[in-house]
Chain A
Amino acid sequence: MQWVAQGFIFRRVNSPFHQLDPRVKLLVSVELFTLSLLVGSLPEVIIALSGIFTIASISNILRRMSRTLSYTLFFAIIIFVINILVGYPLMDAFVIAVRFLAIVGSTSIFFLTTPPDELELVMRWFRLPRDIVFAFVTAVRFVPVLMMDALQIMDAQKSRGLELQKGNIFSRFKRFIPILIPLIVDAVLRSGDLAEAMESRAYGAVKKPTSLHKLEMALLGKVVSISSIVLIVPISYLFLFWM
Chain B
Amino acid sequence: MIEFSSVEYRHPNGIIALRDIDLKIRTGEVLVIVGENGAGKTTLIKHTNGLLKPSKGKVSVFDLDTSKESVANLSRKVGIIFQNPNHQLFSESVENEVEFALKNFGFQEKLKVERLEWALNFFDLARYKTTSPILLSGGEKKRLCIASVLAWDPDVVVMDEPTVGQDFVQKERLTQVIRMLVSNGKAVVLVSHDIEFIWPLQPRVIVMSGGRIIADNKADKIFQDKEVLDKSRIVKPQLQKLSEKLHVESPGVFPNVIDTKQWIISRLDSD
Q: Of the candidates B46, B70, B101, B134, which one forms a contact with A160 in the assembled complex, judged by CB atoms under 8 Å apart?
A: B101
Query: Residue A163 at the B interface, CB < 8 A?
Result: yes
Contacting residues, chain B, for A159 (C-beta < 8 A): 49, 51, 71, 75, 79-80, 82, 149
Is A185 within 8 A of B86, CB to CB?
A: yes
Contacting residues, chain A, for B105 (C-beta < 8 A): 161
Q: Given that A160-B101, A163-B70 are contacting pairs, would A178 and B90 also be in contact in the complex, using a CB cutoff of 8 Å?
A: yes
Q: In the complex, what distance in Å separates the CA atom of A170 from the CA atom of B14?
A: 35
Q: In the complex, what distance in Å separates the CA atom of A161 from the CA atom of B100?
A: 9
Contact flags B73-113 to A (C-beta < 8 A → 1, else 0): 00110011010101111100000000011001100000000
What residue in chain A is nearest B103 (Cβ atoms)? A161
What residue in chain B is nearest A182 (Cβ atoms)? B90
Is B72 within 8 A of A152, CB to CB?
A: no
Chain A, interface residues (CB within 8 Å), range:
10 to 19
Query: Residue B163 at the A interface, CB < 8 A?
Result: no
What residue in chain B is nearest A156 (Cβ atoms)? B88
Is A152 within 8 A of B100, CB to CB?
A: no
Query: Residue B148 at the A interface, CB < 8 A?
Result: yes
The A/B interface has a contact count, at CB < 8 Å, of 63
Contacting residues, chain B, for A185 (C-beta < 8 A): 86, 89-90, 134
Contacting residues, chain B, for A205 (C-beta < 8 A): none
Is B72 within 8 A of A186, CB to CB?
A: no
Is B104 within 8 A of A155, CB to CB?
A: no
Query: Residue A92 at the B interface, CB < 8 A?
Result: no
Query: Residue A118 at the B interface, CB < 8 A?
Result: no
What residue in chain B is nearest A153 (Cβ atoms)? B87
Q: In the complex, what distance in Å separates the CA atom of A161 from the CA atom of B152?
A: 10
Contacting residues, chain B, for A160 (C-beta < 8 A): 75, 88, 100-101, 104, 148-149
Is B86 within 8 A of A189, CB to CB?
A: yes
Is B75 within 8 A of A157, CB to CB?
A: no
Q: In the complex, what distance in Å separates the CA atom of A241 from the CA atom of B104?
A: 63
Distance to closest chain A CB from B163 (angstroms): 18
Contact flags B41-77 to A (C-beta < 8 A → 1, else 0): 0000010010100000000000000000011100110
Contacting residues, chain A, for B80 (C-beta < 8 A): 156, 159
Q: Given that A162-B104, A178-B100 are contacting pairs, would A156 and B87 also be in contact in the complex, using a CB cutoff of 8 Å?
A: yes
CB proximity to A under 8 Å, residues B200-214: none
Distance to closest chain B CB from A173 (angstroms): 15
Q: Given that A149-B87, A182-B90 are contacting pairs, would A156 and B75 also be in contact in the complex, using a CB cutoff of 8 Å?
A: no
What residue in chain A is nearest B158 (Cβ atoms)? A159
What residue in chain B is nearest A149 (Cβ atoms)? B87
CB proximity to B under 8 Å, residues A144-177: 149, 152-153, 155-163, 177
Q: Of the candidates B51, B72, B101, which one forms a contact with A155 in the assembled complex, judged by CB atoms under 8 Å apart?
A: B51
Is B90 within 8 A of A177, CB to CB?
A: yes
Contact flags A176-197 to B (C-beta < 8 A → 1, else 0): 0110011001100100000000
Is A161 within 8 A of B76, CB to CB?
A: yes
Q: In the complex, what distance in Å separates the CA atom of A181 from the CA atom of B88?
A: 9
Q: In the complex, what distance in Å separates the CA atom of A177 from the CA atom of B82?
A: 19
Is A161 within 8 A of B90, CB to CB?
A: no
Offer 16 A-B interface pairs, CB within 8 angstroms, sorted by A: A152-B87, A156-B80, A156-B88, A158-B51, A159-B80, A160-B75, A160-B100, A160-B104, A160-B148, A162-B72, A163-B72, A178-B90, A178-B100, A182-B86, A182-B90, A189-B86
Q: Which 6 A-B pairs have the closest CB atoms?
A: A161-B104, A181-B90, A160-B101, A156-B88, A159-B80, A158-B71
Given A158-B51, A161-B152, 18 other A-B contacts at CB below 8 A?
A149-B87, A153-B87, A156-B87, A157-B88, A158-B72, A159-B49, A159-B71, A159-B75, A160-B100, A160-B148, A161-B101, A163-B70, A163-B104, A182-B86, A185-B86, A185-B89, A186-B84, A186-B87
